[in-house]
Every structure is written in structure tokens, then in C-alpha cells.
Structure 1
Amino acid sequence: MVILAVMALFLTAGVAVITAQPANAALAGTVTLKETSGNITANPMFTEATVDQACPEGHRDKLYVSVLKPDGKLGFIFKSISGGDYGQAPFTFQAPTLPPNRRAFSSALPNPENGVYEMRVTCQSATDLTPTDADDLLDQTFTFAVEIANNSTWQVKEVVVPAVETSSNLSVEPAKQSRIGQKYTLTATVQPADAVGSFQFKVGGNNSGTPVPVVGGVASLEVTAAPLPGNGVRSLELDALFIPDDPLKFTGSSAPQIADYAVVDPASLVARDENGDSVEPNATLAPRQKVKLSVKGFGPEEEVAVALSGSEAALDGGKADKQGTLNDYEFTVPEDAADGNATLSFTGATGGTKVDFAFTVGEAGGETEGATEGTEGTTEGETEGATEGETEGATEGATEGATEGAVAGGTDAGGVDVGGTDTGGAADGGTGGREENPGPLASTGSVGLSLGILAALLLAVGGFVVYHAHRSGRLLSFGPTPRD
């Protein structure tokens, strides 16, 4: 039989986001197998083994033998081994006599790749749960190693030099939450950076994809934020487990868990007035007017702060429900709110989601009333201006026509006088808006011209009468003519 030195395989088990916690170590002890090699399909894998140290107090009722698989899960070889005195050192145990409590290596790990695998002997109490993950009951576990060759045989692997202890960290971007359908990135680092192996990422306690090889001490995985069936919003636990390629060279380690990573709905907001009617963004709200708002996009039961732009008054905040919705938040426009644009902001205290409701402060209908009055004023001004212009133009035109007619006729002394003295009408009508005033001398000259024409006509008529009289012989004759 071959004596195996203990593999001190350290794994972390904490909940901090950044700083690694001290690792929990496997138990110090040596496991000796009766058989040192065999076929991976042999059942049982080995018949007997001895451990040189006692099981921890309180965990001496039964034993569980398993292999650590590449995905960080445990595959059982033997389970529920009981009947021995596991509180003494050393103690020996035998493989279970019948299935299903025993099985071959190839059943615990189908189609294994060639390489070194960690084997475990875990001490359990009657009430301990069955270990399933790499860090389950590690402080109640003894370890040894086997090497698989030709994808068919196993052989005990002796440990000559203790494996180098590793530590791991995990980060996520975005750091606090992701919206449904959005991608977030998990990044795990291992120290020392030359540790050879891969990281198995876990989301919500389940493996996310296959192990990601470490390059330069770093491994990353991009994940799409998926809704939880029946409830899209949820909080997740994020984990990363470093699995060494050769557990005899480097130990495995778990990154501190990132707890309560939120998957949230896309941000949205619905506002309604006191009548239950929808209030659209940028609507006009009067002082003292009330609205109710429902806001999505927060984490489950996240505290939400509320603030109004341009106001120093503290507003009551709220709390989202389990689906991440702030329901029926009541808001009253302050009585002293200044007219103009305003914004009511809702901000998640943990995830930082910010949702804005923009509106305008003012009396309802004020814009319509102002526009109507402006239109009426414009129409009234244009109508009055047009009427005044047309009336004045018509009056001036009629006056001018009457004056010119009187002058041309030469007999209407009234028309001549009006035309000569009405400087405003004659000037405007005759010249189409000439501002020059002809004055009283111009008016006198016009009257004189008219009298001269009249005198000439009278002289012409008088001359014609004298000529006619002369021809008829009546000129200078007194009494009856010879023809009488």
C-alpha cells in the first residue's frame, strides 16, 4: 500500500464583494488505499482505505467518498458508509457491499480527460447534508489524488511537494444591477497569477456555462440578465470557483460571493391625475394639483429617493415592491412652485437607477387663452386698419372729384369755394396723400381765374348782341323803324 501525503486544498467561503476571506482548509491527514491502481470502470473502485487521523467531533456517524469534477461539483464514489469507529485514529473503512451506495469512477465522472483528480473522504453526522460543491464540508474532509491515464485507468498520485495555495476574487460590471436583456460581465482573478486552471462561474447557485480557462490570472464570462419565470425582477448570488488543472501544484479556491445582484425591469413611469386619467410627460400642472406615479426599474424592495428640481423642500421617498416597482407615489405640485419647466426625479438608493418625470408648472389652459387673445387682437387691429384706410380713401376721392367738377363747370360758386378752401380734402384726394398745403394765396388765384373766364364770356355775349343790333338797324334808333 502506498502512503499519500495530505493535500491542503484551500477554498474560500465568504460573502464580501471584494476582499477575500481566510480559506477553509481540508483536514490534515493521510489516506492509504489497499489498491493503488485500477480500471475506471471497476466497481467498487477500491475495497478498503485507512485514514491516520480521527474525524472531527460531531461528524463521526458516516463517510462519503467523492471525486472533484472539473465543473466544481462532486461526483460520489461511495456514500453512507457506516458502522466503524471514525472517532479513533487511525480508522479503516470498507467499500459498500452493494449498489447504489457504491459505483465506479467512470460513473461518478463519465468520460474523464487524462489528468490528476482530487479525491475526498468526508466525515458526516447523521444530519449533515450530502456535499455537492467543492466548498461543501471541506473542513470535515480528508483528501488524496489519483491520475487518469489513457482515459481508462487510474493510479494513486503521490504528493511530494505541497500544492501552492491560491486565492480568488470576483467582480461584476455593471457593478450593482442589470436590466432584463442587458449583458453583464463576470471577471475572476486568481493569485498567484501563474496558477494554471479555470474558473467555474455560478449565477443564482447554478453553473453558468462551462469552466473558463485562466489567462494571466484572469477569466471572464459575459452573461445576459434573464428574467425569473413569473417574476422578472430578482436578486442573484454570483460566485466563481478556481479549479486547478493539477491539484498537486495549486490548490483550488472560491472567490468571495457577490450577494444580492439585482436583475431589474427597464426604467419606465406612468402618471395619472385624481380622476385616473393619464398625465403625459411635459404636461402643464397647476400649483396644488395632485398626481399619482408608478415607477419601474428598481431592485426588489429597494429604497427610492424623490426630489423636485428647483426646490429645496425635502420630499418623502418610497420603497419598491418585490418586483422593483414604486407604486402609486402621490405628488402635489407645491403652491409656491414657479411657472416654467420642472422635473420630479426618482433615484434607487442601491442600484442608482434614475427615472425622471418632466412637467410644466402653470395654470391649466393658460397657453390656449393667451393664444386666443393674441389672435383676436391681431384680427381686430387688421380689420380696423383696413376699414379706416378704405373709408378715408373713398371720402378723399369723392371730395376731389366734386371739387374738380365744380371748377370745370365754372358756375357752381359753392363748389369753387369748397375746392379752394378745403386744403385737407383737395390735397389728399388730388395727390393721393401729398402732405404739402397750397395755402390761401393759391386759393385766391384759383377764384380770380374763374371770374376772368366768366367776364370773357360776358364780353363775348355782349359783342354778339351789339353786332346783331347793328345789322338790323336798331342801333341808335329811337322809336319805330321804317318797317313798322
Structure 2
Amino acid sequence: MKRRIRLVLGTMLTLVLGLSAAVIGSAGPAGAALPGTVTLNPSSGALSTAPMFTAATVDGACPAPYDAQVSVYVVKPDSTYAGSLATRISTGAPYSQAPFSVALPGTARSLGAVLGSSPADGSYHLEVRCLTSTGTSVPGNGFFLPIRVTGDTWQVEDTSQAEETALKVSADPARQAVVGTQYKVTAKVTPADATGVVEFIDASTFQSTRVPVRNGVAVLDATAGSAPRSFPYLVTFWPADAAAYRLSSESFGYYSVLQSGIEVFAEDGSVVEEGSKLARGQKVKVTAQGFRPGETVKVAIPGTRGEFAKATADSRGVVTAYDLTVPKRIWGGKHTLTLTGAGSCVKVTFSFAVSRW
């Protein structure tokens, strides 16, 4: 008998591909999932039976270039990997159109061989992970199916009564943290009485941290590191009982930045001190930091007419030697030059004065 289980999950592959160039070639962290339906034939059996099942049909498609091969893994209740049933299956590839079927080879291992002797009863997951022709992948690039292990048997989990869950992810400080400082990423699980583990994966490094849910909340304590970069997090709630609650996932972008600062230089290279008097039409060069790597930075002198050309922060979040000309039509008195990151909202300021007419 075949059993169809639909996983209602949001895909986070776009975030991973957009912010991370790294790939994984082995099991790696479990991460989030592609949306789709997984059907097993048969839908139950003995732990000792090899292969565990004859075929799996997936009502979804592997995104290119991860459509050349698939591997089938077993995920334990705490979201860590127990091992693989079979790896780098290519029969029937490419798997770029839905639905597609995967037949386990005769050499595939039994579930018991993967879990070891006397595995704990409870909810596990199978993952059908999409791979490139060289066997690499990224987190969030697989289809998951909950199964239940009881004694020496397994069966596809009955999730017909399982309650939907949702994640709300936030950080303190918000948006970004200065390199070398501490920050917290908080995942609130709804409903609050859902028990399980929240897995935080930094998709740029594939570092995975698992935090138990307590009173509907899981908190990741982290350090912003030594260099500015993006932290494209994949956050997944793994229920302790898949028959009661459904797996859910969310993406969350975070950054580390340099301590904000600004320097202004005259044409001869000398430093212009904060509060200095500048002449109308005077040309200066501005260097500012504290922005996100690669972000657009808006330059402005509030109270003046016209717009200044936007700048782009480099890979360290620094705007270097920006050419600025003091407007010829500017009121005499005190003014403030501001540089504001479009995404980070980081604002760096420099005060100066202009002679009165």
C-alpha cells in the first residue's frame, strides 16, 4: 500500500543560492525542505529489510543544477543525520520535472543498518536530497517524509491529525551586529506547546546548531566573527512527535559589519576634522564604514537642494574615497553629511560648517 504525506513547507533554496556559493557533498545539516509530496512503496516494513522500500515517488522537482542525482538519508528526532540508505542514485535522471520516482538499488541498506542496534522508538524523517552531477548540494534542497519507528518495525507517520506550526525569527541587535560582538537569534514556535528542536543553519558555512524548544522559544547565542559577511540562516522546527505537529521552516538574513566610522580628506590628502569649515564648491573625499558588504549607500546633506550620487560599499562594507563637492548653493552655518545604508539602515554622519554669505 502506498501512503502520501504532504509537507507544507516554504522553500529557502533561493536564499541559499543567492547568498552562499558553498556546497556540501555528504549528509551535512538537515536544514529546511523543498515543498512536495513523498510517496513510499511499501509504506511500512521491518527494520531489517533491505532495501528499506522499493521506490519513492516525489511530487516535486529538483532545481537545476541539482537534478542529476539524489541520495536518501535518515534523520533522527534531534535533526541530526543517522546515515544514508543509498547515495548518488541517477537512474531516471534528470529529476527536474514533477513527479519523479527513485528506485533504491539492491545494495541499499536497511533502516536498521542505518540506525544501529536497538534504536529509540519515535519520529524520524527520510530525506530525498537533490544533487549535482558531482554529488554536491546545498541545505534546504531535499524532500522530507516523517516515519515512525516502533520496536523492530517502521511505518510512514500518520500526520492526518498533525497541527501546522509556524516560526517567527528575530535578532538582537536587529539587522546586523558589529564584528566580534555577541548577538541572539530567537525563533518563536507557534503553537507554543509544540515540543522539539529548532535547527539554525548558517547556509554560508553550513554550521548547524540545534536548540531545544522551551515554552515555544529557542534562542541561538552567536558571535559576529572577525570580518563583515552575510549570515543567511535556515531555521527549521523539528517536532518531537510528527504525528502531533508538522515540521516548519523559515529563512532569516543577518550580517556582521565593522564599527561605523567616517573620515573626510581634502584634495591634498590632509584630514578634515569634524566641525571644520568648508568652502562652497570645495572638493573632498569621504571614506565611511559600518555598512553591509556590497550594499547601496545614500549620500545626503539635509537641507540642501539636489541629490548626490549613491555609493556602493565594498566587500568589507566600506565606502572608500567617495568624491563629494560642497554645493555652491548652500546656506551658511552648520550642516551634517550623512551616509545611510539602503538595507542596513546604518547612518554615518560628519558635521561641518559653511561661511555665511
Is 1:36 matched up with 2:46?
A: yes
Q: Distance in 1 between matches of 2:71 and 2:175?
A: 39
Pairs aligned (count): 329
Structure number with greater Rg is 1
Matches within 5 A, 1:359-398: 359-362=352-355
TM-score, normalization by structure 1: 0.56
Residue in structure 2 matched with residue 247 of structure 1 by the alignment: 242
Contact 2:204 2:232 in 1 (8 A): yes
Q: Distance in 1 between matches of 2:232 and 2:68?
A: 32
Residue in structure 1 matched with residue 187 of structure 2 by the alignment: 188
TM-score, normalization by structure 2: 0.73
Q: Distance in 1 between matches of 2:320 and 2:68?
A: 53
Is 1:233 matched up with 2:228?
A: yes
Residue in structure 1 matched with residue 265 of structure 2 by the alignment: 272
Deviation at 1:132, TM superposition (A): 7.3
Contact 2:34 2:142 in 1 (8 A): no
The structure showing larger relative contact order (alpha-carbon pairs under 8 Å, at least 6 residues apart) is: 2
Pick closer, same or farther for the CA change 1:111–1:185 going to 2, 3 Å: farther
Deviation at 1:212, TM superposition (A): 1.4
Residue in structure 1 matched with residue 29 of structure 2 by the alignment: none
Moved more, 297-306 or 162-171: 162-171
Aligned equivalent of 2:84, options 66, 76, 86: 76
Contact 2:47 2:154 in 1 (8 A): yes
Pick closer, same or farther for the CA change 1:355–1:124 going to 2, 3 Å: closer
Cα-to-partner distance string for 1:336-357 (whole Å, 9 max, x where unaligned): 5444433211111221111111
Matches within 5 A, 1:461-476: none
Deviation at 1:10, TM superposition (A): 3.9
Is 1:136 matched up with 2:141?
A: yes
Contact 1:242 1:253 in 2 (8 A): yes
Matches within 5 A, 1:143-158: 144-147=147-150, 154-157=152-155
Structure 1 SS opposite 2:271: coil
Structure 2 SS opposite 1:194: coil
Pick closer, same or farther for the CA change 1:72–1:188 going to 2, 3 Å: farther
Which runs of no fewer than 5 residues in structure 1 stay unpaired? 17-21, 39-44, 85-89, 364-484
Moved more, 243-252 or 66-75: 66-75
Which runs of no fewer than 5 residues in structure 2 stay unpaired? 16-32, 93-100
Residue in structure 2 matched with residue 321 of structure 1 by the alignment: 314
Aligned equivalent of 2:255, options 256, 262, 279: 262
Q: Distance in 1 between matches of 2:134 and 2:123?
A: 25
Matches within 5 A, 1:25-104: 25-32=36-43, 36-37=46-47, 46-47=50-51, 49-51=53-55, 64-69=71-76, 70-71=78-79, 73=81, 75-80=83-88, 95-96=106-107, 102=109
Q: Which has the higher strand share?
A: 2
Residue in structure 2 matched with residue 375 of structure 1 by the alignment: none
Residue in structure 2 matched with residue 118 of structure 1 by the alignment: 124
1:145 counterpart letter in structure 2: R
Is 1:216 matched up with 2:223?
A: no
Q: Distance in 1 between matches of 2:340 and 2:252?
A: 22
Deviation at 1:275, TM superposition (A): 1.0
Contact 1:233 1:324 in 2 (8 A): yes
Q: Distance in 2 between matches of 1:345 and 1:268?
A: 11
Q: Distance in 1 between matches of 2:149 and 2:156?
A: 8
Contact 1:37 1:155 in 2 (8 A): yes
Pick closer, same or farther for the CA change 1:112–1:119 going to 2, 3 Å: farther
Pick closer, same or farther for the CA change 1:29–1:114 going to 2, 3 Å: closer
Contact 1:186 1:222 in 2 (8 A): yes
Q: Distance in 1 between matches of 2:209 and 2:129?
A: 29
Residue in structure 1 matched with residue 23 of structure 2 by the alignment: none
Deviation at 1:291, TM superposition (A): 1.5
Deviation at 1:67, TM superposition (A): 0.9
Pick closer, same or farther for the CA change 1:30–1:287 going to 2, 3 Å: same
Aligned equivalent of 1:281, options 274, 284, 289: 274
RMSD of aligned C-alpha atoms?
4.3
Contact 2:86 2:105 in 1 (8 A): no
Deviation at 1:296, TM superposition (A): 0.9
Deviation at 1:143, TM superposition (A): 5.3
Residue in structure 2 matched with residue 476 of structure 1 by the alignment: none
1:267 counterpart letter in structure 2: S
Q: Distance in 1 between matches of 2:294 and 2:237?
A: 33
Cα-to-partner distance string for 1:300-336 (whole Å, 9 max, x where unaligned): 2222222224434433332222322112122233445
Pick closer, same or farther for the CA change 1:64–1:204 going to 2, 3 Å: closer
Contact 1:120 1:144 in 2 (8 A): yes
Cα-to-partner distance string for 1:277-297 (whole Å, 9 max, x where unaligned): 122212233333322111111
Q: Which has the higher helix share?
A: 1
Deviation at 1:201, TM superposition (A): 0.8
Matches within 5 A, 1:381-420: none
Residue in structure 2 matched with residue 171 of structure 1 by the alignment: 170
Residue in structure 1 matched with residue 300 of structure 2 by the alignment: 307
Deviation at 1:76, TM superposition (A): 0.9
Residue in structure 1 matched with residue 25 of structure 2 by the alignment: none
